Amino acid sequence: MVVKTVDVSEAKTQLPELLSLLSPGSEIILTQDDTPVARLVPVSLPSGSRVPGLHAGAAWTSDDFDAPLGDDFWTCGA
């Protein structure tokens, strides 16, 4: 993993250059007075495409899902 540390004041003027250094597995730590305050990492995009129906039947909804709730629900059974 490639890690670069940059002070926030430098990062203000070098942001485009810092962003160009980011690649998978790299990060840039932003510091203020030698204290780490933030981390820049590349966005990881999902690999491949989604497959519709891959988990068909894994979830279900009861027939009364949208039925009104009874009075005992609202009174906490009291």
Asked whether residue 26 is domain-assigned, the answer is yes
Asked whether residue 21 is domain-assigned, the answer is yes
Task: With beta carbons less than 8 A apart as the criterion, state whether 4 and 25 touch.
Answer: no
Q: What is the pLDDT along the chain (78 residues), one digit of tens a residue?
A: 889 999 999 999 999 999 999 998 899 999 999 999 999 999 988 778 888 888 888 988 999 999 998 888 888 755
Cα dihedral across residues 26, 28, 29, 33: positive or negative:
positive
Asked whether residue 68 is domain-assigned, the answer is no
Q: Enter the pTM of the model.
A: 0.57
Distance CA 72, CA 78 (A): 7
Asked whether residue 58 is domain-assigned, the answer is no
Domain with 25 in it: what CATH number? 3.40.1620.10
Domains contained in the chain, number: 1
Distance CA 18, CA 72 (A): 59
Distance CA 40, CA 26 (A): 9
Distance CA 48, CA 2 (A): 26
Asked whether residue 14 is domain-assigned, the answer is yes
